[in-house]
């Protein structure tokens, strides 16, 4: 009888490699003090309000607090990037945390300064989606991350580098977060030029320090629960927030390999369509009846995440050209009607949150006035939608006058003339859009001394409105593709014949060499 070998049990790693919490923290504090005092390079600590960045900042804070005043020679900048579409609960938590942190640091005389970073108005989520018509982000068109998160923080770091020559980034990244993160961190670790400091591949003259890179999620929570928050914010409240964002409502600190940890929950943009489902917001609404006011946000996010949104998008690309993929046009930006509807839905969600949310949400802005003004400019100036519908939508939803400034320029047609033009064009939307753009282009060049750009702009408007409808556009795109293929085939054949002829001529010349010339 063949014996079946027993599986070797997987040995679970002991917390802090058996050294214990106290010894680990003391060693980490000594390391931070040593690295801080080695040079005059300023530190920039990334803080999101989550568990990892909170643990990292606590370690730095406690290390600074143990140093004498004369040794605290350089600033520590704490930066957080507000994408303006953060989960409202987390956003409120982070904003309040920064206020408390700044006040406490000044009280204790610590060289810690807080900075809340936001994207440029032209880069915000709603300006790009509602204004320009960018479709909701997808893995193959991930236009949001660079604009909302990377550019603001990189801009701040570059400013530090310009002022001081170098900067050290202190981040709460951990190898245990994912296999990909572990590979990246290990690759950077191999290139270290200084102890514990890795080069930043994206920003020259900046180094990365990751104090808790080898910690597990359970070790992070163990530290947060046993070491009090030094700026006076409650780590137990942070744990409660994580519990509320976990589907099973639990956040165990000591677990076996099959037990999920609430460290797996992810807080981020409530509009994110790069994930299949917003698990954290869904769990918050499910676990806490008092957070049902977030339902309008969740519904809007889910409506943005359409599997097939062709009905909401133009069959032409952003600049009016038509491209085929598998004999179908690649959809372009959201149509005017779709963009107006997204704005209406967003303002309605904002009103619902203000009305049904807790008191601190009574003045929440899901979209700022500056964003509304930029969207209005894009619609009227860049897209020639001189109906100027944004203020009308605002009044319709909010029930109050639009607080923005009057337009800097007169519109080519009044409301009555626009209605007449729409009536004359009937159901031919493309005809209406083309005439509207031609009128707007001509008006904008009317008072210019040199009207150099008039004819190219008119030509572009005619190219954009050349088609009768989508079917007509697809027919012309196929014809262009067939013509280009035919030209390419003819050119390829000509080149082959030319090469063959040249080869034959070379052979002929070689055979008919005159005697004595070889």
**Looking at residue 13, what is its pLDDT?**
62
Residue 391 in contact with residue 347, Cβ under 8 Å?
A: no
What are the tens digits of pLDDT across the range 214-243? 898 889 999 999 999 999 988 998 888 887
Q: What is the CA radius of gyration of the chain?
A: 31
**Looking at residue 376, what is its pLDDT?**
96
Q: 276, 305, 241, 259: which is closest to 89 by C-alpha?
A: 241
Burial of residue 92 (CB within 10 Å: 0-12, 13-18, 19+) is middle
Residue 279 in contact with residue 265, Cβ under 8 Å?
A: yes
Query: Whole-angstrom Cα distance, residue 28 to residue 223?
Result: 12
How many Cβ atoms from other residues are within 10 Å of residue 401's Cβ?
A: 9
Residue 207 in contact with residue 169, Cβ under 8 Å?
A: yes
**Looking at residue 421, what is its pLDDT?**
85
What's CA 361's distance to the chain center, in Å? 24
Query: Whole-angstrom Cα distance, residue 197 to residue 188?
Result: 9
DSSP-derived letter for residue 361 is G
Question: What single string gives the DSSP state of each residue in 214-278?
Answer: T--HHHHHHHHHHS--TTS--HHHHHHHHHHTSTTS---SS--TTS--GGG----BTT--SSSS-
Tens digit of each residue's pLDDT, the chain (518 residues): 445 454 444 455 667 877 789 999 999 999 999 999 999 999 999 998 889 999 999 999 999 999 999 999 899 999 999 999 998 988 999 999 999 999 999 999 999 999 999 999 999 999 999 999 999 999 888 899 899 998 999 999 999 999 999 999 999 988 766 666 667 666 666 666 677 888 887 888 899 999 999 898 889 999 999 999 999 988 998 888 887 776 544 444 333 333 344 444 556 789 988 888 777 788 788 777 788 999 999 999 999 999 899 999 988 888 878 888 888 888 999 999 999 999 999 999 999 999 999 998 999 999 999 999 999 999 998 898 988 999 999 999 999 999 999 886 677 777 788 888 888 888 888 888 888 888 888 887 777 767 778 888 888 878 777 887 778 777 877 888 778 778 888 877 767 777 666 665 665 565 555 544 44
Strand-strand pairing, 76-81 and 43-46: parallel
């Amino acid at each position: 009888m063949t014996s079946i070998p027993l599986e070797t049990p997987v040995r679970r790693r002991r917390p802090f490699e058996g050294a214990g919490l106290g010894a680990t923290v003391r060693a980490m504090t000594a390391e931070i003090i040593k690295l801080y005092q080695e040079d005059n390079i300023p530190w920039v600590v990334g803080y999101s309000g989550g568990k990892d960045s909170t643990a990292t900042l606590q370690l730095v804070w406690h290390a600074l607090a143990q140093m004498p005043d004369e040794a605290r020679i350089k600033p520590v900048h704490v930066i957080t990037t507000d994408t303006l579409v953060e989960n409202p609960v987390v956003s409120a938590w982070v904003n309040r945390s920064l206020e408390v942190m700044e006040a406490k640091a000044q009280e204790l005389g610590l060289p810690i300064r807080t900075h809340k970073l936001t994207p440029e108005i032209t880069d915000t989520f709603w300006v790009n989606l509602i204004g320009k018509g960018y479709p909701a982000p997808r893995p193959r068109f991930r236009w949001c991350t660079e604009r909302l998160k990377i550019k603001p923080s990189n801009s701040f770091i570059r400013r530090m580098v310009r002022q001081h020559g170098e900067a050290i980034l202190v981040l709460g990244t951990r190898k245990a977060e994912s296999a990909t993160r572990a590979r990246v961190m290990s690759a950077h670790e191999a290139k270290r030029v200084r102890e514990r400091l890795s080069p930043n591949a994206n920003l020259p003259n900046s180094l990365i320090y990751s104090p808790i890179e080898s910690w597990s999620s359970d070790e992070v929570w163990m530290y947060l629960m046993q070491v009090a928050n030094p700026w006076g914010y409650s780590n137990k409240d942070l744990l409660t927030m994580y519990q509320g964002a976990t589907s099973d409502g639990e956040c165990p600190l000591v677990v076996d390999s099959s037990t999920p940890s609430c460290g797996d929950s992810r807080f981020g943009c409530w509009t994110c369509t790069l994930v299949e489902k917003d698990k954290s917001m869904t769990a918050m609404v499910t676990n806490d009846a008092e957070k049902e006011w977030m339902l309008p946000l969740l519904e809007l996010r889910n409506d943005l995440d359409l599997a097939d949104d062709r009905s909401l998008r133009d069959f032409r690309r952003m600049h009016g050209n038509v491209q085929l993929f598998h004999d179908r046009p690649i959809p372009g930006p959201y149509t005017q009607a779709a963009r107006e509807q997204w704005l209406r839905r967003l303002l309605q969600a904002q009103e619902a949150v203000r009305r049904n949310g807790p008191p601190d949400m009574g003045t929440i802005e899901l979209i700022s006035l500056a964003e509304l003004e930029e969207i209005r400019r894009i619609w009227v100036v860049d897209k020639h939608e001189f109906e100027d519908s944004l203020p009308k939508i605002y009044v319709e939803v909010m029930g109050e006058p639009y607080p923005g400034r009057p337009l800097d320029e007169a519109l080519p047609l009044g409301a009555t003339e626009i209605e007449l033009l729409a009536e004359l064009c009937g159901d031919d939307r493309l005809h209406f859009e083309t005439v509207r753009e031609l009128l707007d282009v001509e008006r904008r060049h009317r008072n210019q001394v040199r009207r150099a750009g008039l004819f190219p702009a008119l030509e572009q408007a005619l190219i954009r409105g050349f088609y009768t409808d989508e079917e007509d556009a697809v027919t012309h795109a196929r014809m262009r593709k067939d013509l280009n293929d035919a030209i390419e085939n003819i050119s390829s054949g000509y080149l082959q014949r030319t090469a063959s002829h040249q080869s034959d001529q070379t052979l002929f010349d070689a055979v008919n060499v005159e005697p004595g010339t070889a």
